[in-house]
Structures are given as C-alpha cells and as structure tokens.
C-alpha cells in the first residue's frame, strides 16, 4: 500500500491522511473520488466513487476477501480472492443492483468441484442488470505439479470470437449468433492442416446420435480414405448443364497420360465375394449405365473391359438377372481349352451352355450349339436353328438318328 500511495502522489493526486483513509480534497473534476483503505481491512482496498462527476455511475473497486470452508476437508487454507473492477463487491456481486458489474477475479486456492489439486484461478466476470452471471474468459493453473501437470484449463465463453494480426487485420471470425454458426476466414490462402499422416482426426456425430464417425483422411500411401459406408449425394445441376449432377469425378488437373484412371477403386485382399460398386434407385423409366466417348475418330471406342489375372484364374463374364425368373451369362470360359465364348442359361459358365464359340487355338471360330432332342424341337418361328441329338438326316426331321443340324424352314424342321 505504501508503494501505491507513493505512485498516486507521483501521478499528482493530492491526498490527506485520516486514520488509514486517504481522500482527495482537490475541487473540480477529482472531487473526493478516491479512497485508500489500510492493510487491516478485509474487503475494500481501493474505492473510486465517480458519483459527483457521473451520477449514474457506480464505484470502481479493488477488493480482497477470504472464503473459508470451500476446500477439501482437512485443509486449513482459505481461498483468498482479489476482485478489481466496476461495481463489484467483495463477494463478486453487484454493489449497486441497478448497474451491471465487470471485474477481474484472482483466486489463490481454488478447488474445482471441491477436488484436488489446488489451483490458482483467474476469470473475468460480468453480471448484467438482470442479475445473470457470465464468465467470458477464465483459466486455472496448478499451484504445484511442475511442467508435466495436466490439470490446467482455459475457457472462453462468447457469442463472437475474432482473431487478428498485429496490425489489426481480422483473419478469423467465429460467430455463434447466426444459423448455422459460421467459422469465417477473412484472409485469402488460409490453410487448416494436421501435421500427422495416416491419422483419422476429423469426426462428425452419426444420425442416431450414438457415436462419432470419422471423415475422410489421407493414409500412408497418400490415398484418401473414408470409413464405410461412404455415400456422395449431389444436387442436380439441370439437364442443360455440361455435367448435370453436382458430384463429378475425373476432372483431372494437368494433362493425363495414356491409361490414366479417372476413378480407381482399390479393394482389399479378401476371401469371398465383394461388390466393387452398386447403384440402386426406383426409376419408372430406364436406369442407364453409360460410357460415352464424344471424340469423333475411328479409334475413339467406348470399351467395357473385364479381366482375370491368368490361365489359372476364373472367368471374365457378365451375368443377366430377371429376379426370381431367369438368369443368363456371357463371357469367356477359362476352364476349357480354346477359352470359348459362352452364352449360358445360368449364373455361371460351363454348366448350362447354350452356345460355345472357341476363341483361340486350332479350333478358334468353331461354334457348338447345345444339344436338344427331337421331341423338344416344338414349333417355333422360321429361322431357328438347333442341334438335334437324336434326329436323322431327313426333310422333315425324324427321330431315331445319331444327330443332325435342324433348321426351321417353311413351318417344318429340316435336318441335314
């Protein structure tokens, strides 16, 4: 207090002593505004009363108070609290209840929730004119524990938060008053980054509000990964747009090279079946998968490429399915010499072949029809051809033979 008294004298405050109370007696603008109370006082240390200048203002105070009984059982230390601010009483409340208070609070021994460890605590406290308490900023640091202590904390409570450069330029704004709240970068080329690789670090809560899901991240191979399942939903850009849907992949930066991938799905090593992709919709018209090559020259093909790894692998083929009614397949049968091109009446090649055409070797181009018997030839339209396994060479066809090629001509079967 002697230092503060000397400082006030140095600043030009003429003070007179009254048993530990010092009051400015200069007339005019400083008419009796300041009181310094002695060290034996336990509440108001400094009181600045501007009421003679601003009748609507409350006092500005520096206070000290102790609060026993707020610590852990058995502790003999009180919590000493210093408050410094406008209209603040010794307990942190308002002196004048018609005015708000805004003050700095320092606590020498704060026990969060009555639990260890003991902390030094600081906060800015505002009580508005309705009596609601707000703490825009607060932090605690441990009284003991050293550099390895993990008990420190800091809290910021505000509707808007702005970060700026030293020259005052605002570079980042948080605004929780808008719907939805906005995190705004006010400077170009601002980058948000994570210094680790192959780390799932960004999460969002799921629809059931039961867990957090990770958003995409880059793995050790610099490949963008996402947790399963992964969906992309785009708004339609309109039929006249160059790309009618919002989600577009394959718009490469730079110049691509031959056989570059516009979209590459890399699957795992796995025993069993996997779907590489699936598209589902409820469409009353055609549901179309399209490859459109818009280059107009003789080599500009639209190609669907199916490949297995070698001679000992399975078959590259396509399956057609009328759900619950009929399945058919076409493709190359890798299990048969000549690797024939097969049309089969089932989900696999080789068991219900309808047509087989050898694709390599000395038999390349040779075609084999599935055998049927004469009793099953029926009466189809003209132009049908079948291999009749028990037909004799005759016109019209007759049974009892060792096999003939049957052709449906002029309403009858002709075998030769």
- Consecutive 10-residue averages of pLDDT for the chain (416 residues): 46 40 38 47 79 89 82 66 94 94 92 77 96 96 73 92 90 92 81 89 91 90 76 57 51 69 78 88 92 93 94 95 95 93 94 92 89 96 96 96 96 96
Q: Which two tokens stand for residue 22?
A: 């010092």
What is this structure's pTM?
A: 0.53
Instruction: Judge contact between 203 and 193, C-beta under 8 A.
Output: no
| Beta-bridge partner residues of 62 | 46, 84
Instruction: Judge contact between 105 and 82, C-beta under 8 A.
Output: yes
Residues near 287 by beta carbon (within 8 Å), at least 6 away in sequence: 279, 281
Residues near 303 by beta carbon (within 8 Å), at least 6 away in sequence: 291
The DSSP symbol for 215 reads P
pLDDT score at 193: 87
Helices marked H in 261-416: none
pLDDT score at 2: 46
Residues near 176 by beta carbon (within 8 Å), at least 6 away in sequence: 159, 160
Coil, helix or strand for 148?
Answer: helix
């Amino acid at each position: 207090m002697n230092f503060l008294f000397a400082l006030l004298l140095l600043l030009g405050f003429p003070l007179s002593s009254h048993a530990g109370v010092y009051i400015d007696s200069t007339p005019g603008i400083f008419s009796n505004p300041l009181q310094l109370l002695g060290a034996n006082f336990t509440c108001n240390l400094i009181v600045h009363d501007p009421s003679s200048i601003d009748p609507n203002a409350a006092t500005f105070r520096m206070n000290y108070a102790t609060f026993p009984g707020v610590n852990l059982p058995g502790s003999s230390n009180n919590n000493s609290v210093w408050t410094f601010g406008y209209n603040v009483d010794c307990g942190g409340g308002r002196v004048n209840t018609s005015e708000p208070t805004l003050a700095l609070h320092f606590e020498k021994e704060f026990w969060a929730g009555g639990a260890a460890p003991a902390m030094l605590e600081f906060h800015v406290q505002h009580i508005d004119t309705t009596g609601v308490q707000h703490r825009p900023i607060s932090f605690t640091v441990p009284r003991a524990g050293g550099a390895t202590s993990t008990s420190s904390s800091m809290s910021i409570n505000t509707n808007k938060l702005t970060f700026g450069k030293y020259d005052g330029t605002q570079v980042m704004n948080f605004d929780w008053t808008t719907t939805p709240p906005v995190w705004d970068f006010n400077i170009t080329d601002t980058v948000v980054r994570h210094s680790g690789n192959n780390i799932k670090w960004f999460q969002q809560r799921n629809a059931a509000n039961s867990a957090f899901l990770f958003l995409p991240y880059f793995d050790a191979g610099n490949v963008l990964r996402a947790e399963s399942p992964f969906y992309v939903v785009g708004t339609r850009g309109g039929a006249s747009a160059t790309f009618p849907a919002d989600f577009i992949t394959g718009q490469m930066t730079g110049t691509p090279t031959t056989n570059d991938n516009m979209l590459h799905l890399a699957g795992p090593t796995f025993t069993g079946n996997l779907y590489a992709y699936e598209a589902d919709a409820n469409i009353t018209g055609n549901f179309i998968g399209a490859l459109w090559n818009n280059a107009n020259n003789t080599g500009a093909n639209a190609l669907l490429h199916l490949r297995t790894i070698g001679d000992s692998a399975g078959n590259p083929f396509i399956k057609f399915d009328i759900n619950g009614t009929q399945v058919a397949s076409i493709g190359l049968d890798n299990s048969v010499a000549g690797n024939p091109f097969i049309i089969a009446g089932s989900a696999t090649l080789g068991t219900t072949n309808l047509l087989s055409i050898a694709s390599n070797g000395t038999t390349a181009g040779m075609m084999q029809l599935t055998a049927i018997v004469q009793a099953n030839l029926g009466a189809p339209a003209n132009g049908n051809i079948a291999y009749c396994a028990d037909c004799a060479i005759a016109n019209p066809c007759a049974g009892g033979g060792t096999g003939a090629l049957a052709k449906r001509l002029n309403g009858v079967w002709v075998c030769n």
